[in-house]
Amino acid sequence: MSDNSSGVTGYIEHHLTHWQIGEGFWSLHLDSLLVSILLGGLFLLFFGMVSRRATAGVPGPLQNFVEMMVEFIDGISKDTFHGKNSLVAPMALTIFVWVFLMNFMDLIPIDLVPDTMGALGWDYFKVLPVVNLNITFGLSLSVLALIIGFSLYYKGLGGFIKELLFHPFGPWLMPFNLVLNIVELLAKPISLSLRLFGNLYAAELIFILIATLTLGFGTAWGEMLTSVSGLMLFAGQTILASIWAIFHILVVPLQAFIFMMLSVVYLSMAAEDH
């Protein structure tokens, strides 16, 4: 690493810094945004290609896989969201695959992308988009917008306001109801995005911490691989990182599934009368 002089703290800080252009609010974390859009585009490209060629006859392996996903998502959204809506299932599919792909970036070796991009001239490049609160809040606030949209669509403006004011304690506790409902409404996107962010941030941090085991050797590969303590540290890092990665394989789809599932549940709650 270039800033080896500042030691472990510098290494971790470097790994947690985004590639940012602009200052203040009107700035972009281009690394997160680019990777996120790239992965979403990949998802659309793959599924769109298969969908274009989809036949009702015998499906090929690609179509089989895609149909498995579609059926899985369709089953969940039909079980959870009662009533007909052509938006819920595609949204759930998008969230599930997209978040899964973004989470999956966590399994890319921790130094690979920053070092490669560093060699190409970027100072900072964080490949895991979901450890950026902008990204997770971007997703969950979109879901919030959909929740409000669904409430308005299914209950009308009057119905929605009535529910905000009179539920759950009746008209005599109107201000209390309103506060409660707004808190409930806001808690949904906050819990969604913070859950995803927290899980992946912690996992990422543990990967970084494991990687600091051999940090003291820097690029002195020969020294590390010929000394006993260097070899032990190297083996320890490899084993620990492998174990954590294997465990993480469970977390990656689980967090994507939870995000998708809760979004569908929130939308179904918004569409139904209490």
Q: Of the two residues 92 and 210, which places its CB atom closer to other proteins in the complex?
A: 92
Task: Report the C-alpha gap between 196 and 258 in whole angstroms.
Answer: 9
Q: Are 31 and 23 in contact (CB under 8 A)?
A: no
State in angstroms the smallest separation of the CB of 35 from other proteins.
11
- Binding other proteins (rule: CB under 8 A), the pick from 35, 91, 200, 210 is 91
DSSP 8-state assignment for residue 271: H
E strands in the chain: 20-21, 28-29
Which of 36-44, 114-122, 178-186, 264-272 is the region at the interface with other proteins (rule: CB under 8 A)? 36-44
Q: Which is nearer to other proteins, 129 or 230 (CB)?
A: 129
Cα separation of 86 and 79, whole Å?
Answer: 14
Query: Which tokens is 151 given?
Result: 């409430």
- The backbone torsions φ and ψ at residue 29, rounded to the nearest 5 degrees and listed phi first, read -85, 90
Residue with tokens 């800080």: 13
Answer yes or no whether residue 263 interacts with other proteins by CB under 8 A: no
Interface residues for other proteins in 66-85 (CB under 8 A)? 66-67, 70-71, 74
- Confirm or reject binding of residue 43 to other proteins (CB under 8 A): yes
Taking a C-beta distance cutoff of 8 angstroms, is the pair 212, 12 a contact?
A: yes
User: Does 132 sit near other proteins (CB under 8 A)?
Assistant: yes
What residues have CB less than 8 Å from 125, skipping those under 6 apart?
A: 19, 31, 113, 114, 117, 118
**Which of 2, 24, 84, 157 lies at the binding interface for other proteins (CB under 8 A)?**
24
Q: Which CB sits closer to other proteins, 92 or 211?
A: 92
Stretch that binds other proteins, among 134-142, 154-162, 172-180, 266-274 (CB under 8 A): 134-142
The candidate with the shortest Cα–Cα distance to 143, out of 100, 198, 91, is 91
80, 94, 214, 237: residue in contact with other proteins (rule CB under 8 A): 94
Helix (H) or strand (E) holding 36: helix 30-52
Which of 11, 47, 207, 259 binds other proteins (CB under 8 A)? It is 47
Residue 40 binding other proteins, by CB under 8 A: yes
15 part of the interface to other proteins, by CB under 8 A: no
Angle between helices 133-166 and 30-52 (to 10 degrees): 80
Residue 142 in the binding site for other proteins (CB under 8 A): yes
Q: Collect all residues with Cβ–Cβ distance below 8 Å to 147 and sequence separation of at least 6.
A: 185, 188, 266, 267, 270
**Is 56 an interacting residue with respect to other proteins (CB under 8 A)?**
yes
Residue 113 Cα distances to 6, 43, 116, 166, 199, angstroms: 21, 21, 5, 53, 21
Contact residue for other proteins among 6, 9, 51, 238 (CB under 8 A): 51
Instruction: Indicate which single residue of 11, 81, 98, 207 sits in contact with other proteins (rule: CB under 8 A).
Output: 98
Interacting residues toward other proteins by CB under 8 A: 20, 22, 24-29, 32-33, 36-37, 40, 43-44, 47-48, 50-52, 54-57, 59, 63, 66-67, 70-71, 74, 86-87, 89-91, 93-94, 98, 132-135, 137-139, 141-142, 145
